[in-house]
Amino acid sequence: MAYRFWCGECGFKTSWLSESEGARRQMDHYTKQHPGIPPGGHVEANRKNPEGGNGCLQLVGFVLLLLLIAAACSR
């Protein structure tokens, strides 16, 4: 499952990552941006796409496929 971690102090959020990687990036953010404050905020689970955040890549591939089909049909 993919997770996104939100900062409790500012608008920072991680991209969709594994739980351990997201937690690590949130801790890195707090260490750099909010020293001395324990990590807080909330965690969001990607229920629509539990395998990760590859939706954009799939969309780009689909659009390229449509462009190839349109180019082949226009000849």
Residues in Cβ contact with 27 at an 8 Å cutoff, skipping those fewer than 6 apart: 39
> Does the pTM exceed 0.85?
no
**pLDDT bucket at 55, cuts 50 / 70 / 90:** low
User: Among residues of the chain, what percentage have pLDDT more than 70?
Assistant: 85
Confidence of residue 52 (pLDDT cuts 50, 70, 90): low
Specify the number of domains making up the chain.
Answer: 1
> By residue range, what is the domain housing residue 29?
3-73
- Type of residue at 45: A
